[in-house]
Amino acid sequence: MHFLEELAKTFPEDRLLIDKELLSPYESDGLTAFAVTPRAVLIPETQEEVVEIVRACVKHKVPFVSRGSGTSLSGAALPVETGIVIALNRLNRVIELDPERRIARVEPGVVNIDVTKAAQVHGLHFAPDPSSQIICTIGGNVAFNSGGAHCLKYGMTSNHVLGLKAVLATGEVVEFGNSSLEDTGPDYTGLFGGSEGMFGVALEIILRLLPKSETFHTILAGYNSLEKAGDAVSAIVASGILPGAIEIMDRLAIDAAEAAVDAGYPEEAKAVLIVELEGPQEQVESEKRELETIINASNPIEIQVAKDTTARLKIWKGRKSAFSAVGRLSPDFIVQDGVVPRKRLGEALRRIEQLGKKHGLRVANVFHAGDGNLHPLILYDGTIEGELERGENLAGEILEMCIEMGGSITGEHGVGMEKRSYMPKMFTNDDISFMKKTRTAFDPDGIANPGKMFPEGQAPALTLYGLHPLEKKGIISRE
Amino acid sequence: MNCPSSIEKATEFVRGAKQIIPAGAGTKHPKKDTLGTLDLSGLSGIIEYEPSEYIFSARAGTTITEINELLNKNGQYLPFDPPFINAGATLGGTIACGLSGPGRLRYGGIRDFLIGIRFLNGEGRIIQAGGKVVKNAAGYDYPKLFCGAMGTLGILLEATFKVFPAPRATRTLELTSKSKMAAIETLCNITLTQWEPDALEFYPEENKLLLRLAGNPDALDARLPKILQELGYCDAKILPDDEATIEWNALQEFHWTPRDAYILKAPITPKEIPELEQALSLNDVKRHYGLAGNVAWIATADTKALEEISTILDNLGLAAIKVRGNLERFIYGKTRSHKIHGALKEAIDPLGKFPVLQ
């Protein structure tokens, strides 16, 4: 029996999509430059159905790409033409929420923010907070080891995954880890995190929850140069304070945020720095005084201290909306998420500016300054001949700069489709061949999310970059 | 025994050897003088330390003492409290055993702070994974996989860790309850507070909890009276700094276990502790529960008792791994067997040079 006929026995028409117009929403993810129409989209409602689909794929050697909300910025959920997409959104149950063990056991289609919503009655929250958290799913967060603004202190998604159940690309259903903070033997849970969907599909994930911080102190400082903002970061880091978040935005990004949400950022500033302290009241009180001294000494032109939660959220709203807001300044843009050592941030920004001039393109910068994670937004107009190519070249040169400085090509978006050609610049042939062997153990036929992470393979033709339709509506935003 | 002084010599050995058992300082699994033993204590030394980046890289044979001395000078620390420091533990051995101490509670364990590794695979090729920046999502996360792999997947050569600024002060509270159940209840209550406990350990034989708070001294002293008030339902006292240091050091060094005892680490949750306690009280074994009831450390010098403990753990659905003692067997209690375990081992070590975790 043919592959789809076999699945049609379980899946009714509305959960096995084959009509072209029904497939079109699945052609792209957050990286809209790429679009591929899959053979079919399967919409399972139970874990058993996911297992059934994967086993059918194994039997017929059909490639599959699992997908949550499709917010990936690296083309992680780009379909394969000969394969299917497994849309996991209906596997969205919080199976267990246990305050005593401080864990949540969830299905992969649960939206990131919904974990915190379910946990907050117990005063708990799920720490990883990618900017797309109101729509991105835990399955995608785990597969790409997503980050957010609070990684310096709390780490990335993998640091909050204690265990998981998954169906591998061999059809085997496995359990790794457990509900405890500790584990025995090799950390398979850790290996599965960030494997970019190439090992299989997670069915259940055990997340670590943390008590919500007792208090927050958020301060925004405006500077007349990016360099001064960068120096302030160095001074904070050297002081021994460990803030929950340290973010910087440049003028272009500030303009975008202002135009979009009227965040009230300083009008004259060339850069703004956002620092957030969080923790027990007395500790924050003590660090607050220290931070104030450091910021005052860093020559800001304006300081705003969030007096209450509303003011705090306003500061964050500007920051979190900055990416999609850049869409107001330019019809198209490319975003990168390379990492450089923190002490070289100033140098990196100067070089990005020079590279932008060289290619005749504007670059807006929003970045997680605490951990050196850059987010240059390269603005271009796809209707002007040659701008897309120049933008691509500029993006590539920025990534090469990150590697040269001893950093990484990706801090939190993953390699996916987008950055795979840069893997050989960061890793040796031996490293990559070792990764491939590992992958083969999980996926001997190469059917799980093929074409991602590794350099070879035919890339689909580039189309215009632009905002995701949901971004245009202001529903989602980027990190 | 082979004790290479350079990566080249280690590579040469790995290429030529049929069986390889990597060893560090032997603080947990005594080194055996066999043909296959590869003593990595000669490959030591700090390669790079960037206080401003919160990272350091060092060779696998470097002792944690050496690392800590350097970090201390710069007001930084390894927040996961690696154990057996005074005994001479190395970075490589600590990674291979996947060991973290009481401090894991607050910011995470060794798996959360190890951000990059270089290792030799069975073919004698050097593989690097992860990186030297605190945030990185490129490539598969082998640093995590190697935590707890017990030397079965490759020979660690170098490791890069994320570090944090050290808290300026700590305060330790000793809380004694009327019963084990009451102590466990207190423990659960504390984990739901917003005090951000730095460490919380349970001594079952004394119905006692040891709670460590870390932060600025003025902040801690302002908070402590309120905490004591909230903990009014148990007998709470503040330990003087010197006494507290001794207590925490004893935990980190496992002084509560007899020197020749085997030590098992069993992941657990507070809910399962009462049952395990009841079952284990039949045997003459020492227990301690760390990480707010997330790990059971079980120690006995008797190999027969070890078997009994394994059965007890299995019946309760708990797994354990031996972290000290010179038996070939590492895995106790409930075992989980998936085909991928074997397939992964074969893919990573096709010539079968490294030990099989058993």
Residue-wise pLDDT tens digits, B3-28: 899 999 999 999 999 999 888 888 88
Task: Name the B residues in 43-82 with CB < 8 Å from any A CB.
Answer: 50-54, 75
Q: How far does the CA of residue B223 sit from the closest CA of chain A (Å)?
A: 7
Residue A479 has pLDDT above 70, yes or no: no
Q: How many CA atoms lie within 13 A of B294 on its CB side?
A: 28
Q: Which pLDDT tens digit goes with each residue over A183-212?
A: 999 999 999 999 999 999 999 999 999 999
Do residues B96 and B84 lie in contact, with contact meaning Cβ atoms separated by under 8 Å? no
Q: How far is CA A52 from the centre of its chain?
A: 29
Tell me which amino acid residue B351 is.
Answer: L
What was the pLDDT predicted at A90?
98
Neighboring chain B residues of A182 at a CB cutoff of 8 Å: 100, 109, 265-268, 291, 294-295
Kindly list the residues from chain B whose CB atom is less than 8 angstroms away from the CB atom of residue A166. Answer: none
CB B117 within 8 A of CB A191: no
Distance from CA of A210 to the nearest CA of B (A): 8
Mutate to test the interface with B, among A58, A165, A184, A344 (most CBs of B within 10 A): A184
Q: What is the gyration radius of the CA atoms in chain B, in angstroms?
A: 21
State what percent of residues in chain A have pLDDT above 90.
Answer: 76
Whether B178 has its CB under 8 Å from any CB of chain A: the answer is no
CATH 1.50.10.10: does it fit domain A3-89? no
What integer pLDDT is reported at residue A48 of this predicted model? 98
A60: which DSSP letter?
H
What does the pLDDT look like over B205-261, one tens digit per residue?
Answer: 999 999 999 999 999 999 999 999 999 888 999 999 999 999 999 999 999 999 899
B137·A435 Cβ contact <8 A = no
**pLDDT at residue A468 in the model:** 57
pLDDT per residue over A144-166, tens digit each?
999 988 888 999 999 999 999 99
Nearest to A182 among B51, B139, B267 (CB): B267
Would you say residue A343 has pLDDT above 90?
Answer: no
Count chain A–chain B contacts defined by CB atoms under 8 A.
268
Task: Tell whether B128 is within 8 A of chain A (Cβ).
Answer: yes
User: In chain A, what are the domain boundaries?
Assistant: 3-89, 94-211, 214-327
pLDDT tens-digit series, residues A204-251: 999 999 999 999 999 999 999 988 998 899 899 889 999 999 999 999
Average pLDDT, chain B: 94
Higher model confidence: residue A472 or residue A334?
Answer: A334
Q: SS3 for B244-283, per residue?
A: HHHHHHHHHCCCCCCCCCEEEEEECCHHHHHHHHHHHCCC
3-state helix/strand/coil string of chain A: CCHHHHHHCCCCHHHEECCHHHHHHHCCCCCCCCCCCCCEEECCCCHHHHHHHHHHHHHHCCCEEEECCCCCCCCCCCCCCCCEEEECCCCCCEEEEECCCCEEEECCCCEHHHHHHHHHHHCEECCCCCCCCCCCEHHHHHHCCCCCCCHHHHCCHHHHEEEEEEEECCCCEEEEECCCCCCCCCCHHHHHCCCCCCCEEEEEEEEECEECCCEEEEEEEEECCHHHHHHHHHHHHHHCCCCCEEEEEEHHHHHHHHHHHCCCCCCCCCEEEEEEEEECHHHHHHHHHHHHHHHHHCCCCEEEECCCHHHHHHHHHHHHHHHHHHCCCCCEEEECCCECCHHHHHHHHHHHHHHHHHHCCEEEEEEEHHHCECCEEEEECCCCCCHHHHHHHHHHHHHHHHHHCCCECCCCCCCCCCCHHHHHHHCCHHHHHHHHHHHHHHCCCCCECCCCCCCCCCCCCCCCCCCCHHHHCCCCCCC
Q: Is A1 a residue whose pLDDT tops 70?
A: no
Categorize the per-residue pLDDT at B96 as very low, low, confident or very high, splitting at 50, 70 and 90. Answer: very high
Q: What's the confidence (pLDDT) of residue A467?
A: 59
For chain B, domains (ranges, CATH) are 7-165 (3.30.465.10), 169-252 (3.30.70.260), 262-333 (3.30.70.2250)
**pLDDT tens digits for range A378-421:** 999 989 999 988 998 999 999 999 999 999 999 999 999 889 99
Question: Could you write out the three-class secondary structure of B58-70?
Answer: EECCCEHHHHHHH
Range of weakest confidence among A261-270, B141-150, B152-161: A261-270
The angle subtended at Cα A45 by Cα A41 and Cα A49, nearest 5°, is: 75
Q: SS3 for A383?
A: coil
pLDDT of residue B141 exceeding 60, the answer is: yes
Q: Chain A residues with CB inside 8 Å of B107's CB? A: 153-155
Amino acid at A251: R
Q: ipTM greater than 0.85, yes or no?
A: yes
Residue A151 phi/psi, 5-degree rounding, is -70, -30
Q: Which residue of B has its CA nearest to A170?
A: B340
| CA B170/CA B197 separation, integer angstroms | 10
pLDDT tens, A86-123? 999 999 999 999 999 999 999 999 999 999 999 999 99
- Do the domains at A94-211 and A214-327 have one common CATH topology? no
Q: How confident is the model at residue A464 (pLDDT cuts 50, 70, 90)?
A: very low
- Give the whole-number percent of chain A exceeding pLDDT 70: 95
> Regarding the domain delimited by A94-211, which CATH topology (the fold level of the hierarchy) does it fall under?
3.30.465
**pLDDT level of residue A474 (50, 70, 90 thresholds):** low
Could you give the CA distance from residue B15 to residue B29 in angstroms, rounded to a whole number? 24
Least confident window among A16-20, A457-461, B73-77: A457-461
pLDDT at residue A380, rounded to an integer: 92
The CATH code that applies to domain A214-327 is 3.30.70.2190
User: What pLDDT, on a 0 to 100 scale, did the predictor assign at position A469?
Assistant: 52
Confidence of residue A466 (pLDDT cuts 50, 70, 90): low
